Structure 1
Amino acid sequence: MHFDYEKDPLAIERESFRQIRELTDLTSLTQDEAQVAMRLIHSCGDPQIMAQLRFTPGAVEAGLAAIRAGASVLCDVEMVRHGLTKRMLETPAHCFLNAPETPGLAKTNGETRCMAALELWRPLLADSVVLIGNAPTALFRLLEMVRDGAPKPALVIGMPVGFVGAAESKDALWRHCDELGLQAIALLGRQGGSALTASAFNALLRISRGIYF
């Protein structure tokens, strides 16, 4: 039994991105936005997500500036945090879902642990990069916090996945970005997830180091 397949990782990557460019209309995007879009498509194998991908004007630039400034990176779940390219992170990424205080806060307030964990973000929230890939409730809570005067992150990558609240939370993010003064990258609809959210940020990490595909 013999299998004929490509083994060179660089060749695999080059060919993957060649096919993505061939299959995807990226003409509406800036060079850096296209890098993020291609990384997302590469992660899920579906060029059709382009129809749901949204960037606020200046979102990529804001994210890159935050990365270069060593901003805090705040993740809704550990799966997002573990998906980040650690060798490129200048500062550790944070997730407080499993912090000792979180279950008690959630029980007291009658809310999800992901919502409760955001209370522990407050000291780190100003000019941070927020990555929400799993919990719609976390994205809704972030919007409520900013609405009520909490410090604003430099960039929100909002891509929670699922059937209850996921599409609605991302729609709320997209509709209220201007009103709340937020920069955001969002994948509208039910699709999303931790891997895609981490991939979007990993694309920004690569761009910040001058790595393009």
Structure 2
Amino acid sequence: MPETTRILPITAPEEIEAASLAIIDAEVPEPRPYVGPQWDIVRRLIHTTADFELLKLVRFSANAVQAGLTALDQGATIITDTEMARCAIPLRRLQPFGCTVRCFMNDPDVVAAAAAAGSTRAALAMDFALDLPGPVIFAIGNAPTALLRLIKRLNSGAPAPALVIGMPVGFVNAAESKALLQTRADVPWITIKGRKGGSALAGATVNALAIVLRAAGAAGKA
């Protein structure tokens, strides 16, 4: 006889999330390849995709997590390469810190500049975002052209952002652009080795950082 499927009697969204994270913790026993806030982030990425291979693929620069937490605490602007990534970052998690999320993909000036240059809007949007004041976090989950453009601008002397979450997905220049990002010591970064990535993962990384920051604030008040 086929094995009986066991349906958990959970329907509330917050209970489903807590149960999911508990299952991940149970299936990845200690010692884990990531600890502390890094584990909080990787666990959130696994929760988003149900992909445990991420345990071998997520990479952090030495000070990336602290740089991201500091930027959020200072009211950072988060720049996404797609509207999909922007929608993956709920404002309810960022508004307590005064943060905003912006995507320039559909800005008329970006559309015109991309058409004139024969480039993608995601790439040209990076130029507009680099002119923003204050701490800026880039969350790139879809377009390798955006990450490559950002790296090119940094090579040309553009000011380094507070954090680059570089997770473009795909088969053309996705792995290569992320490999280039990992060579940089002048900017904090979080990335995923190889072809995997996506807007949902870039957004989930921002969400995880906001959750860690909120928990740290709550602990400090206790």
Q: Same fold (TM over 0.5)?
A: yes
What pairs with 1:43-62 in structure 2 (closer than 5 Å)? 43-62=48-67
- Choose from 132, 157, 176 the match for 1:168: 176
Moved over 6 A (4+): none
Matches within 5 A, 1:133-148: 133-148=141-156
Question: Aligned ranges for residues 192-211 of structure 1 at < 5 Å?
Answer: 192-210=197-215
Q: Could you tell me which of 16, 19, 43 is aligned with 2:20?
A: 16
- By how many angstroms is 1:126 displaced? 5.8
Q: Does structure 1 retain, via aligned residues, the 8 Å contact 2:74–2:135? A: no
Residue of structure 1 in register with 2:116 after alignment: 108
For residues 93 and 155 of structure 2, the distance between their equivalents in structure 1, rounded to whole angstroms, comes to 32
State the Cα distance separating 1:27 from its structure 2 match: 2.6
> Is residue 177 of structure 1 aligned with residue 184 of structure 2?
yes
5+ residue gaps, structure 1, are none
Q: State which of 79, 82, 95 in structure 1 corresponds to 2:103.
A: 95
Report if the CA contact (8 A) 1:64-1:204 is conserved: yes
Q: What secondary structure does 2:119 align onto?
A: coil
Maintained 8 Å contact 1:97/1:113:
yes
Counterpart AA for 1:33: Q
CA distance in 2, matches of 1:39, 1:190: 19
Which amino acid is 1:7 matched to? T
Aligned residue number for residue 188 of structure 1: 193
Deviations 1:46-73 (A, max 9, x none): 1111111001111010000000001211
Query: Secondary structure of the residue that 1:130 maps to in structure 2?
Result: strand
Aligned Cα root-mean-square deviation (Å): 1.8
Post-superposition Cα deviations, 1:187-211, rounded to whole Å, max 9, x if no partner, equal: 1111110011100110001111117
More deviation, 3-12/153-162 = 3-12
Instruction: Note if 1:35 corresponds to 2:37.
Output: no
**What is the CA deviation profile of residues 72-94 of structure 1, one whole-angstrom value per residue up to 9, with x for unaligned ones?**
11111111111102112223211
Unpaired runs of 5+ in structure 2? 1-6
Which whole-Å deviations, capped at 9, do the CAs of 1:142-163 have from their partners, x for residues lacking one?
0011111111111111111111
CA contact (8 A) 1:125 1:151 kept: no
Aligned length: 207
Alpha-carbon distance in structure 2 between the residues aligned to 1:15 and 1:104:
47
Q: CA deviation at 1:113?
A: 1.1
The percentage of aligned residue pairs carrying the same residue is: 38
Per the normalisation by structure 2, the TM-score is 0.87
The equivalent of 1:130 in structure 2 is 138
**What is the TM-score of this pair, normalised by structure 1?**
0.91
